[in-house]
Structure 1
Amino acid sequence: MTLVLTNAAPACEERPLGCLRYGCAEYSLTRDLFKELRQMDIRTDCRFFRGDRPCRAHKQTGAHCTDCRSYEKLSERVLIIKLGAAGDVIRTTPLLRRLRQEMPSCHVTWLTDFPELLPSVVDVAVKFSDRSVAWISGREFDLALILDKDPEAIGVGESVLARKKMGFGLDAYGRCRPLNAWANPKFVTGVFDDVSRTNRRSYVQEIFEISGYEFDGEQYWLDVDESKVFQIGGQSPVVGLNTGCGLRWPSRQWPEEYWESLCLSVAAGGAEVLLLGGEQEDSLNKRLAARTGAKYLGCFPIEDFVALVGNCDVVVTQVTMALHVAIGLRKRLVLMNNIFNPHEFELYGLGEIIEPAPPCECYYASECPHDSMRRISPEAVLEAVLRQIDRARASLTNNAGDSAERHRDGRR
């Protein structure tokens, strides 16, 4: 293939395609090039085809579609709309395992506020913005799962074309409505507290039901950047204390003096204490580190925070993103909960939930007039931490035994 340039001065700026259609005097492609382009087989149904730039396989090997060994044919086009919060995005990822099981060749596009939390198995992770909405609106999908009830999410969901839509959409007044029968329970528990209190299904179960599946223990799907390395400590178990609770639900914040007491008690038991949090908890964690000697490495971007949690053996947290990061990384955990239905949390047998005694009278309340988190004592949390440390050690011992057995089998 060649591109023939003439010596004539450029004069076709107003009609840049003229050279292709009418044999422009300034630029012309050879007849051989046109012939080869017409005969070229471009497999736009490949999972790795990008359209506006070379795919990774071509960049690495120089292969064209016809002789490419990486070709993977796509089938169903699936759209997931789950914008936030960050923890909810993570605990929606088990659905990807079922989608890949039921539709192995499906192409998944996910619109979210937190694309950095999505695993690489998502074909196109799109950050919610005016530009991304313009790109998605009007596109065609085989299946659209609109799993948020927020106006902006269901508005986008209404704008896409799909053979089947499940989840939530807009009613005649621009408010949330269920799109399919299996979305009705989640819709009703969202508008009536008394009904929500009686719910015994976890969030993951509800998301699966909305999508037309039955939950079968599918795990979170969370990628970890192995290049992120933190110097935490020696051979002692590492207990991560995630001290914040976010701005939306300040009612779930455990008192600072309780965190201080827990830091000292956990350290006295021989464990390494690692303080976790974001920018909102930075000053709190610095104070706790100064007063207790706990390790605090600072606040990090989300991807680095995930890697940092990966260094923990046990995580203590209120209902925050850290809870779901810990579950995704298969860490032992202690969850402090006061205002949410405890049945909504799928812990996969990785830990336990500690609640006020007596239980908090509030329900999904941003402010708790009873300050019920004070009824979760540091002593009760410490006992739970020690139990989880023992279980983490037992798990490591069992894993070591399994590895040794596999090694012996390999030598036979």
Structure 2
Amino acid sequence: MRVLLVKLSSLGDVIHTLPALTDAWHAVPDIHFDWVVEEGFAEIPGWHPAVAHAIPAALRRWRRDWRSTRAERHAFRARLRAQRYDRVIDAQGLIKSALVARQAIGPRWGLDRASAREPLAAWTYRHRVRVPREQHAVSRTRALFAAALDYSIPNTVADYGLARERLPVPSTAPGDLLFLHGTTWPSKHWPEAYWCELMALAAADGLRVLLPWGDETEHARAERIAVAGAGHGFVLPRSGLGELAALIASARIVIGVDTGLAHLAAALGTPSVTLYGATRPDRTGTFGEAQIHLSARFPCSPCLTRECGYRGASVVRPACYEALDPARVWAQTRETMSGSREMAHGA
């Protein structure tokens, strides 16, 4: 069976789709997926054995330069229509993903109006699936795949199915910890002063901390955080997603905000402590074993907004992180590292 999967972005959403692929891989004989994904994440499908081809899309870039990318867009559409698929599954539920799925040849499946993130997308599907919104994104996608491919949802722990041997060998020595300090929403940023304090606590325990970054703003912040480590903090060179995945996989533990790389850590089975203020871990948090969620205890949290709108007195911004200080985070980190060692020795 040949299936076209449309899940374009973001990094966390792409990662959340992987357990459904594993379910289908085990449930349906000879199933293979082609996966339409934003070009920045196109290497991820290749880490899963159920994916035959990744089909990169560049919707964001094409919108910025519509006229000069005409030939590229036509080639993309021709590739989607090069064969008939047994199923076309839009696992994103957005108008843009539905329009991409509509260009392919084959019966289209997606979430119904009550379940999709953008209800109008449901009108483009031939088959619609209702999935409760209160479930985690991983569980919702597993349910969609089970309905579209006609098997029962497995009563098993989510298996991301990533083949670590497909990851590149990193050029940087592994670290004990990775600090994932970068994220898109201002409301999800843990205060820089807290990161510096956390770095000092890790350095006092003699731990090597790696600091990735994605743009110049994050690079400058990583440099400032590293200074607090007194020789124990190391700012990574600009790294591709595959190399970052390999470093995450080799770390003892990851500490991060609600960002795509934190979900990648969960997919790779790396113990993680993830910090939540504006967002809800029960719906879109890291999902899997050894994943610790620390949520800010604050009256307006989670607000689910990009900008902190709190107008009361607070010592940090976003204000909700006043209730999630470095001492609490480090205590949980040490407890998680200790538990991981005990599990390893027990095995």
Normalised by the length of structure 2, the TM-score is: 0.80
The CA distance in 1 between the partners of 2:104 and 2:77, in whole Å, is 10
Equivalent residue letter for 1:378: P
Identical residues among aligned pairs (%): 21
**Aligned alpha-carbon RMSD (Å):** 2.4
- Contact kept? 1:90, 1:222, Cα under 8 Å: no
Q: Is 1:281 matched with 2:208?
A: no
1:262 Cα offset (Å): 0.4
- Give the counterpart of 1:364 among 304, 307, 316: 304
- Contact kept? 1:204, 1:346, Cα under 8 Å: no
Quote the residue 1:298 is aligned against.
237
- Give the counterpart of 2:326 among 378, 387, 397: 378
The CA distance in 2 between the partners of 1:227 and 1:321, in whole Å, is 21
| Total equivalences in the alignment | 303
The CA distance in 1 between the partners of 2:9 and 2:273, in whole Å, is 23
The change in CA–CA distance for 1:346 and 1:308 in structure 2 (over 3 A counts) is: closer
SS in 2 for 1:381: helix
The CA distance in 1 between the partners of 2:242 and 2:112, in whole Å, is 30
- Contact kept? 1:138, 1:159, Cα under 8 Å: no
Quote the residue 2:249 is aligned against.
310
- Contact kept? 1:315, 1:333, Cα under 8 Å: yes
- TM alignment of 1:47-86, pairs within 5 A: 76-86=1-11
- TM alignment of 1:108-119, pairs within 5 A: 108-113=33-38, 114-118=41-45, 119=47
Equivalent residue letter for 2:224: R
SS in 2 for 1:227: coil
Quote the residue 1:90 is aligned against.
15
Q: Is 1:204 matched with 2:138?
A: yes
The change in CA–CA distance for 1:366 and 1:303 in structure 2 (over 3 A counts) is: same
- Contact kept? 2:5, 2:36, Cα under 8 Å: yes
1:175 Cα offset (Å): 3.2
The CA distance in 2 between the partners of 1:396 and 1:184, in whole Å, is 37
- Contact kept? 2:249, 2:268, Cα under 8 Å: yes
Q: Which runs of 4+ in 1 moved over 6 A?
A: none
Normalised by the length of structure 1, the TM-score is: 0.68
- Contact kept? 1:338, 1:360, Cα under 8 Å: no
CA-to-aligned-CA distance 1:284-333 (integer Å, 9 cap, x gap)? 00111123231222231111111121231110011111111211221111
SS in 2 for 1:386: helix
- Contact kept? 1:314, 1:392, Cα under 8 Å: no
CA-to-aligned-CA distance 1:6-32 (integer Å, 9 cap, x gap)? xxxxxxxxxxxxxxxxxxxxxxxxxxx
SS in 2 for 1:373: helix
The CA distance in 2 between the partners of 1:105 and 1:150, in whole Å, is 29
Unaligned runs of 5+ residues in structure 1 are 1-75, 187-198, 400-412
- Give the counterpart of 2:162 among 209, 222, 238: 222
The CA distance in 2 between the partners of 1:134 and 1:152, in whole Å, is 18
Equivalent residue letter for 1:152: K
- Contact kept? 2:226, 2:234, Cα under 8 Å: yes
- Give the counterpart of 2:193 among 257, 260, 263: 257
CA-to-aligned-CA distance 1:91-122 (integer Å, 9 cap, x gap)? 21111111111223122110001111122521
Equivalent residue letter for 1:273: V
Equivalent residue letter for 2:193: E
Quote the residue 2:272 is aligned against.
333
The CA distance in 2 between the partners of 1:207 and 1:359, in whole Å, is 31
The CA distance in 2 between the partners of 1:90 and 1:162, in whole Å, is 25
The CA distance in 1 between the partners of 2:272 and 2:21, in whole Å, is 24
| Bigger RCO (CA 8 Å, 6+ sep) | 2
The change in CA–CA distance for 1:398 and 1:362 in structure 2 (over 3 A counts) is: closer
Quote the residue 1:355 is aligned against.
295
The CA distance in 2 between the partners of 1:88 and 1:174, in whole Å, is 18
- Contact kept? 2:280, 2:302, Cα under 8 Å: no
- Contact kept? 2:197, 2:228, Cα under 8 Å: no
1:183 Cα offset (Å): 3.5
